[in-house]
Amino acid sequence: MLEAVNLVTESRRVLLSGHLRADGDCLGAQSVVYHALKRMGKEVEVMLPNAPDGRYGFLEAHTPWTLYDGKLPEADLLIVCDCNTLRRLGEMGKAVEASGMKRLVIDHHPMEEDQGWSASVHDCGSAASGLLALDFVEALGVTDLPAEAYEAAFVALMTDTGWLKYSNANADAWAAAARLVANGVDTSRIYDLVYQQAEMGRPLGIAAVLESLEYHADGQIAIAWTSQRHLESVGGSMEDTDDVLDLLRSVRVVEAVGLLTERDGGMVKLSLRSKHHLDVNKVARRLGGGGHARAAGATFEAGTSFEDAVEQVRSELLREVED
């Protein structure tokens, strides 16, 4: 932690970023650090490698961000939140590596080796990177965070623990939630913004995904997918996949779920979830992604067909079941 504190203290201009299609934890952690660095008088910019998950757009009102357009802004230090490999920043990660700038990571995922970080704030036991961000700004000596930072930390915690229902919702997570509520977070407002703003095409999108559902290994594995073309043909949408993942994982015999959807540029995105023992992080890493033991994901290279992607996912999940 001391190395990380020194890096920030010695820096004047700081660039914040995180993984592709930033989620609530990634954006929440960035917001906490952003407000702390502003309090310290630093010049701070948030730049994302691509457009984030649309559900969290409300955070931009108090933590403005830009999207990477092929050029990095001048900065003394890059802080990456919620992932620990530059590969997960896509093209922006390649530019960062070429720049040689100092870089700090704040993350709770299993650490990959030899990533060239100047320092790290890392703990796999933390329920969310947003909580590590709170610990870090406290170590920086910032104790007067604005209400928006506590709101962002709450978003990070709730979305990464499934509103405190996933296995990572440990005692520290519950205690942190209580502290954030005590700091004025409006829990019903956050729930409404994150979980009650679905687009009208969501139910039709769910139906489209379920058309492809297949079970393997006596029902232990469930795989489903849909293309953007099919979604459009039925008037459906699939901005958020959590509803489908939770539904498939709720089946009694299912241990692990793989869901494939199409994103901008024709890339196929994979989301993986498991219940008790199957480590989907191992599966995701073999497919070029990463995450946690019970929640992980990957993005296939442009040009990979749905058929090829589904076959790879099917093969890797079955391999993990057999092991």
DSSP code string of 213-233: -EEETTTTEEEEEE-HHHHHH
| Phi, psi of 168, deg, nearest 5 | -85, 0
Q: Which of 308, 306, 317 is nearest to 284 (CA)?
A: 317
Instruction: Please state the pTM of the whole predicted model.
Output: 0.86
Angle between helices 147-160 and 24-39 (to 10 degrees): 160
Structural contact between residues 305 and 269, judged by C-beta atoms closer than 8 angstroms: no
Q: Which tokens go with 254? A: 């299912």
The beta strands (E) that lie in 25-167 are given as 43-48, 65-67, 77-81, 102-107, 119-122
Could you tell me the CA-to-CA distances from 103 to 79, 86, 100, 132 in Å, in that order? 6, 10, 9, 17
**Predicted pLDDT at 114:** 66
pLDDT tens for each residue of the chain, 323 residues long = 889 999 999 999 999 999 988 999 999 999 999 999 999 999 999 999 999 988 899 999 999 999 999 999 999 999 999 999 998 899 999 999 999 899 999 999 988 766 789 999 999 999 999 999 999 999 999 989 999 999 999 999 999 999 999 889 999 999 999 999 999 999 999 999 999 988 899 999 999 999 999 999 999 999 999 988 898 999 988 877 888 999 999 999 999 999 999 876 678 999 999 998 999 999 999 998 888 888 899 988 778 888 899 999 999 999 998 87
Domain-wise residue ranges, the chain: 2-195, 202-322
- End-to-end distance of the chain based on CA atoms, in angstroms? 37
- Tell which CATH architecture fits domain 202-322: Roll (3.10)
Instruction: Measure the CA–CA gap between 263 and 238, rounded to whole angstroms.
Output: 10
Instruction: Measure the CA–CA gap between 165 and 160, rounded to whole angstroms.
Output: 10
**Predicted pLDDT at 264:** 67
Partners of 291 in beta bridges: 296
Using alpha carbons only, give the angle 274, 275, 279 rounded to the nearest 5 degrees. 50
| Phi, psi of 194, deg, nearest 5 | -90, -40
* Superfamily classification of domain 2-195: inorganic pyrophosphatase (n-terminal core) (3.90.1640.10)
